[in-house]
Amino acid sequence: MAEELLPQPIGNTSSTLVRLTPEQEELCRRLDDLHALDQLQAKPSDMFRGALSVIEDENNPDRIAQAAHSLREILYPIMSGRGRKSIGAKEDTFERYGSVHLDAGLGKIYGELTNIAHHGLTSTKLDFLSVTRTDFDELVEVFETSMQRALIRPIDVHRSIDQFLSSDPPQ
């Protein structure tokens, strides 16, 4: 009986975490707030950290597409209206975020990330093979700035409303 060969890991197998800037830490905190408010299954801050980790693995030939996929998935609940797991979830999410995603340019970013995540197959404009790490880093920077702008007000306002509504009524 011959021993079966087990698949060997490829790429960066270290478990060291990527160091985040203070701005990125704040974004992760706000993404965690989004997770708590909307009871999402996957933690958006984990997807963000994962995207930053995978992009660092220079041995991974598909790292840009994989990182783009994770960042796009963070936007999906906002862009699709799938948020709270309650009756009228779509309407509740759109009331919660309103047109903030449009004001922050998240629709354009979502489209760009989708094109990259799908290896350019969904776009006639994107030459996936020409997307560089520098191009992707610039997109991540725009993503971070836009997400900060999109999340600051809605989460703070709705957390205050939720807290007020869950407290005992005034006597």
**Is a pLDDT exceeding 90 seen at residue 100?**
no
For the stretch 107-166, pLDDT in tens is 889 989 999 999 888 777 788 888 899 999 999 999 999 888 887 755 555 556 666 667
Whole-number pLDDT of residue 7: 59
Are 97 and 149 within 8 A, CB to CB?
no
pLDDT at 171: 58
User: Are residues 64 and 55 in contact, defined by beta-carbon separation less than 8 angstroms?
Assistant: yes
- Residue 62 has phi, psi (to 5 degrees) of -110, 20
Q: Are the beta carbons of 58 and 132 closer than 8 angstroms?
A: no
For residue 103, name the pLDDT band (cuts at 50, 70, 90): low
Triad 38, 41, 44: Cα angle to 5°: 75
Find the range with the poorest average confidence among 58-67, 84-93, 134-143.
Answer: 84-93
Q: Output 42 or 37, whichever has higher pLDDT.
A: 42
The pLDDT value recorded for residue 41 is 76
Report the pLDDT averaged over residues 83-89.
40
Residue with more model confidence, 73 or 36: 73
Segment 68-74 mean pLDDT: 94
Do residues 53 and 68 lie in contact, with contact meaning Cβ atoms separated by under 8 Å?
Answer: no
